[in-house]
A and B are shown apart, each in its own frame.
Chain A
Amino acid sequence: MKRIHQIIVIVIVLCAIFIGLGYKNLWAEEQKSATQSSTAKKWSASTKGGAQLWSENCMMCHNLRSPTTFNPKQWEIVVPHMRVQANLTAEEARKILKFLQSGH
């Protein structure tokens, strides 16, 4: 029974990798073929700006810390770590970083 559990988990892990890689390719193709269309926005989940993404994602765990807490260079280190911790997509992280750096 437990062996079945392990097999299921392995299958899920592999699926996740392929989904991740697949999304990357899909996103690249979408960007190429229809950069002006709203289809691209559909996949990016990013009708939201950096300020909104910062507010929504960071507040889920802790109080919002001011953009001046760290300098722009330090945010370049902190945000990628928070991207991993909070399971942000690269695009979300990019937008949040841009917003935090613009506060200086």
Chain B
Amino acid sequence: MGRRVFWFFVAGLMLGIVSSVRAEENNSVSLEEFNKLKADYDQLKQEVQELKKMISQQNQSAPPSAAQPVAASQGASVEYVTTDEFKKLKDEVKETRPGLSNFIVSGYGFTDYKESEGAPSTFSAGVNPVFLWKASDKLLFETELEFSLEGGETSTNLEFADAQYLLNDYVTVVAGKFLSPFGIFIDRHPKWINKLPDKPYGYPDGSAMLVPESQIGAQIRGGIPLLRDSKVKYAMYVSNGPTVQTTTTHAGELSFSNTNDNNHNKAFGGRVGFVPISPLEVGYSWETSRVGANNTDFYHLDALIQGVDFSYVQDIDPIKGTVNFKSEQIWSHVDSADYGTSGRAFKNDRWARYVQLSYRPSKVDLPFIKNLEPVFRFDQIHHPSDAPTFVDHDRYTWGLDYWISPNVVTKAAYEKDLQSEGGANNHTFLGELAVGF
């Protein structure tokens, strides 16, 4: 055993000596090899110098391309960003993701409370999401859906769905189902914009409509600047138009839910608004249409709806707040006809009007007071005396809004509705929370 270990040790020692000798042999260089390597080195050095000279000449004759990154020309320089800058860059990158860059959901939601004489008090709620899509710089799409609770069920409605093409700086072409450009209230009907919980008479609110909320057809619209900051706004449309109702209870009324036209004639209408100075606008609206259905006794009936509107919204420093005044008058005329309700044809002229004034002390320093906005509205509607079931209304509404933020409002209102013969006077309390998003 000991002898084996001895010879193993000797063999290892020999191997180590041989290895070290070979290593020394590998590290040693002969004079001939040294001279050859030196010659190679001198040649390479000369070539590098020539290359440097060439690059320098090229840089002097032609500046680097604009697309060349600055960092590259600076060699190994390193740039740092702060956390905020990094977050901003990250957000910008996120915004460019497909599906987020050209599409947005907006709209509003609300909860209403109504307590009226002779009827159970009730809450109601709804949400109206608006989908906006910018397909290109010139082509836009918009859609609004309406979900609301009515009669124990959730009702849905397509408020509008249209494509908009920006033809030039002053003309936009719109096609589809769009909000009627009639008067000024329809554009301002969303709950977070309307100053009161309900709509004035004449506008779509379940009954007694004199103007359509939306149209199915096509329109052109836009604004044209005039001298000295004055401006003309216009909108003109062609659409299916309304239908005259011939049933006993609603004979002579116009129905605006004309998703399929009832005759070959189309309705023409529009609005022209004039803005002489920025807070003031006056406008005239009209719609003319054939309203009788094909192959009926009422086919020959035509209708003409006209309206004038006035709007003034201004910050006034001496009273430390904003005054908002709006007024509209609507006339509706349908050709006379005998619907069999009164035994003779009756003159089918109706009108509705309202004035509304609100004041918000937005420039007062008191935080609670500056968010309050008292509102007053007086509205009326008049129907032909021979028309079935309808009575005239004179309504006074006092309201108080509290703006939690520019797009969140709570409203409380009291209404006194004086009705003509056949109807009882009515007192109503209304409450609303509306959120625009």
Contacts and interface: CB of A to CB of B under 8 A. Distances in A.
Given A62-B193, A77-B102, A78-B104, A10 B172 contact: no
Contact of A87 (B223, B322, B406): B223
Contacts of A60: 279, 281, 311, 313
B290 interface: yes
B130 to A, nearest CB: 9
Contacts of A23: 168-170, 224
Interface in B206-244: 220-227, 229-231, 233-236
A13 B236 contact: yes
B385 interface: no
B171 A16 contact: yes
B225 A87 contact: no
A64 interface: yes
Given A45-B226, A77-B132, A87-B273, A21 B268 contact: no
Contacts of B101: 73
A66 B100 CA distance: 21
A37 interface: no
A70 B322 CA distance: 25
A61 to B, nearest CB: 5
Interface centre among A6, A21, A83 (most CB of B within 10 A): A6
Contact of A9 (B106, B270, B436): B270
A32 B134 CA distance: 30
A44 B169 CA distance: 10
Given A2-B302, A16-B171, A48 B229 contact: yes
A45 B220 CA distance: 21
A80 B187 contact: no
A20 B168 contact: yes
A interface SS class: helix
A20 B278 CA distance: 21
Contacts of A64: 406
B47 interface: no
A46 B130 CA distance: 31
Contacts of B174: 84
Interface of A: 1-2, 5-6, 9-10, 12-13, 16-17, 19-21, 23-24, 27, 42-48, 56-57, 59-66, 69-74, 76-78, 80-81, 83-92
Given A16-B234, A60-B311, A65-B407, 14 more contacts: A2-B288, A2-B302, A9-B269, A17-B171, A60-B281, A61-B188, A62-B188, A71-B95, A81-B140, A81-B142, A83-B172, A84-B221, A89-B225, A90-B166
27 contacts: A5-B304, A6-B268, A9-B288, A10-B268, A17-B220, A21-B168, A23-B224, A44-B225, A45-B225, A46-B225, A61-B187, A61-B188, A61-B193, A62-B188, A62-B406, A62-B436, A64-B406, A65-B407, A73-B100, A73-B101, A77-B132, A81-B134, A81-B142, A83-B172, A87-B222, A88-B223, A89-B231
